[in-house]
Amino acid sequence: MNSTSSPLTSDHQAILINGKAHAATLRHRIREDVLAFHDRHGVTPGLAVILVGNDPASEVYVRNKAIQTHHAGMRSFMHMLPETTSETELLDLIERLNNDAAIHGILVQLPLPAGIDARRVTNAIQPEKDVDGLGEVNAGRLAMNLPGIVPCTPLGCLLLLRDQLGDMKGQHAVVIGCSNLVGKPLAMLLLAEGCTVSIAHIHTRDTAALARQADILVVATGCRELVRGDWIKPGATIIDVGITRAQTPDGKTRLVGDVAFDEAVQVAGRITPVPGGVGPMTIACLLENTLTAARMQVGETPS
Ligand SMILES: Nc1nc2c(c(=O)[nH]1)N[C@@H](CN(C=O)c1ccc(C(=O)N[C@@H](CCC(=O)O)C(=O)O)cc1)CN2
């Protein structure tokens, strides 16, 4: 795909990147790998997911994580804690899970209620069991290009990009958003792919001008429809990580991304929809990371 191609015709439509289908294929392969792993070691990978409080979206995500963990042939351990849980209680639970041989991966669903220090909690997870890859050890390994566990959403974006574009060396990737969850780790991954990487954030002077230079544009800001059609270089590949639930005039809700899809689809070469783009890849990559963690814990070398 040549992303520097000449201006597009008025009826141009970008190719949709089908994250839902890609995630299903990935989950199928993981299930086979879990069975093979069990045959080799007699061990079933186990994933513990901790949710503190009653955030409705988080409840849906952790329930889906449990269902998909079972479907992949792994064991799922759910810990649903009340909003009033103290940081000390949460740290005690993590300590127990760190020492439980049946648990190969531990994940604390974000966001956490106010008053709990997410950094302290994430860092309490033993790095080998940190299947979210958000602790300082795994973040450091990623920054140093060393083997480790990579955060799920950035890994999902990378797999989609590799599938669509193959070799990305020399491409200009612009990442809008610099969170520890998505923007920063994804920038590291794209750098390791050989991209020239720019990161835009709240203090960036002219984000639209920077975005217009991107062969690959990743948007992870949580600002719905921030990126307009005229921010996009014709033919560019767009990865929209944002998911916001918006009210429609008929009183219903719909999910919207950080990119104004109807405008972007007329300019981009390829684009992820919301829903059905990056989101489904997040949980599939969590399953992949849990299997990777179990492999490391039995002494297999990560691939
Ligand atoms: N500890 C973590 N917390 C959070 C993470 C994370 O990776 N680790 N990411 C997000 C939430 N998330 C997983 O936890 C997640 C978000 C979205 C989807 C998804 O499949 N989205 C669907 C739409 C689903 C819907 O109808 O609401 C889609 O985009 O098609 C899965 C997982 C924040 N917290």
Which positions ≥6 away from 164 have C-beta within 8 Å?
Answer: 1, 15, 17, 237, 270
For the question of residue 164 being annotated catalytic, the response is: no
Q: Choose, from 33, 129, 130, 132, the residue flagged as catalytic.
A: 132
ipTM: 0.98
Per-residue confidence at 192, pLDDT binned at 50, 70, 90? very high
CATH superfamily of 44-126: Leucine Dehydrogenase, chain A, domain 1 (3.40.50.10860)
pLDDT at position 3 is 44
d(CA 22, CA 270): 15
Per-residue confidence at 302, pLDDT binned at 50, 70, 90? low
Residue 99 token pair: 């020492």
Give the tens place of pLDDT for each residue, 241-250: 999 999 999 9
Q: Choose, from 68, 109, 164, 171, the residue flagged as catalytic.
A: 109
pLDDT at position 4 is 46
Give the tens place of pLDDT for each residue, 224-237: 999 999 999 999 99
Q: Stretch 117-128: mean pLDDT, rounded?
A: 98
Q: Please state which CATH class domain 151-279 belongs to.
A: alpha beta
122 lines ligand 1 (CB under 6 A): no
**Mutation test of ligand 1: which of 61, 109, 258 has the most ligand atoms closer than 8 Å to its C-beta?**
61
Indicate if 151-279 has the same CATH topology as 44-126. Answer: yes
Question: Does residue 111 have a cis bond before it (omega within 30 degrees)?
Answer: yes
**Mutation test of ligand 1: which of 109, 131, 186 has the most ligand atoms closer than 8 Å to its C-beta?**
109
Ligand 1 center to residue 75 CA distance, Å? 20
For the question of residue 13 being annotated catalytic, the response is: no
Ligand 1 center to residue 303 CA distance, Å? 26
| Residues 99 and 297 sit within 8 Å (Cβ to Cβ) | no
105 lines ligand 1 (CB under 6 A): no
pTM, two decimals, is: 0.96
Share of the chain above pLDDT 70, in %: 97
pLDDT at position 10 is 73
- The ranges assigned to domains in the chain are 44-126, 151-279
d(CA 213, CA 234): 10
**Mutation test of ligand 1: which of 281, 282, 288, 289 has the most ligand atoms closer than 8 Å to its C-beta?**
282
For the question of residue 65 being annotated catalytic, the response is: yes
Q: Which atom of ligand 1 is nearest to the CA of 132?
A: 8
